Structure 1
Amino acid sequence: MAKTANVLQVLHLFTQARHQVRVAEIARLLEVSSATAYRYVAELEHTGFIESAATGVYVLGPAIVELDRQIRLHDPLIAAASDIMRTLSERTGGTTILARLHASKVVCVDQVRGRHGPKAVSYERGRAMPLYRGATSTVILAQLDRDAIRALAERDASEIRKAGLPTNPQALAERLRALGEKLVAHTQGEVDADALGWAIAIQHGKHLLGSLSVVMSRDAPDLAPQRIAEQLRRAALRVQGRLDSLKAS
């Protein structure tokens, strides 16, 4: 039987641009033999993680949907934040986003549409976004330790430069430290041109989980940035308080 970690690499081949894969692609992209690629496919198909869409063509399977439902129902962060997000959207009028840090990306895990939010928000549930643009991501980036920032600066210099951030590790760390001291990050049009974003990091003890955000349309009536930031700060404290209660119990 193939090692689990190797088999699961196949699932990471599915992206927004690549929604189906062939065995030959698996072998080429993972640099394994055709026989090994077929073994990976057989194991994943047997467990329902992928299924055949046509001869030799595979798509994600129903087991993924089952697991997604379990996450929606039982993920502690979503459970702690769900009704708080609805209240935050009602009070601010904005769309609220709950995002998690995953490797070097940020993934939206829950969203509540607000009456004054943009028509569309790039931070859709399940969509991986870069760390370097938008309040939802950069407020997480600002909480990373210096070793993590140094590693990112060495690996993602091009993307960091495109985001208008310094690529020198020390300069990047200093810029992010200043951002982190503000607690609530605010950006305008960095991800979606018609959007204004406010975000705050969510911690569980010393563990950085992700961020909570409010996104408003640029033409939203009666914008009150300070009030939005304060509402967001209070909401984040309530989420973190609930997470601490779960840990204590």
Structure 2
Amino acid sequence: MNNRKKAARPCRVTATPKTSWVSPAPASRQRREACALAVVSHTQGGGLRWPGAMMAVTRDGTAAGYVSNGCVDADVIGHALAAIETGKADYLVYGAGSPFMDIRLPCGGQMDVLVAPLTDPDAVARTHDALTARTETSLTITRDGKFTAGPVPADRTTSWDGDTLSLHLTPKLALRVAGRGEEAIALARLAAAGDLPPPSSRPTTIPSPAPGPRASRQSASPRRNPCPA
């Protein structure tokens, strides 16, 4: 007997590691578009993401961020779409102890995901603004899907307090590249591949010196004979 919940409709994985979860949430607020957040709330054993990893999903199935690999993310997107339709939060368990027998995690791990429709876009927008200003912040989500932009947790961790999940959020690591040359350019490319913000300075190659006039093989003045007769 298959105990899996049915999603509102099939969907494709459109999230990429280079897309931040905060991107669609404030934008969807401006467009008055429905949105849901999926948050990794607990992990045990092997896993791709730590607690606090998030993915945002809009009504058309567009997703930003990721919580695991393709199979898990596709299923989470389906549940996020269902949460948008019903207006109710959902709590999902993958891996050990999960009712989803066809979705497995490596090494017998377990991952819990809280999926909640975005009921307070302003709370997420304030969190987004703080991260954009490179300030650590926090976001709390209750099991029934209530969002609050709150103060930074005293222990600076992502954890449950009763029925409330408190997320400690920090800005992405920033890279400052100083200098010029191929080494700086290679470092900037590595930063871009690692989804780091653009370097504060753009390294450039050292221009090759312009070729000067070739020295004449004959001197303008006759060479002096060091051994006069």
Task: Give the alignment's TM-score, normalised by structure 1.
Answer: 0.24
Task: Give the alignment's TM-score, normalised by structure 2.
Answer: 0.26
Bigger share in helix? 1
Q: Which of these two proteins has the greater Rg computed from alpha carbons?
A: 2
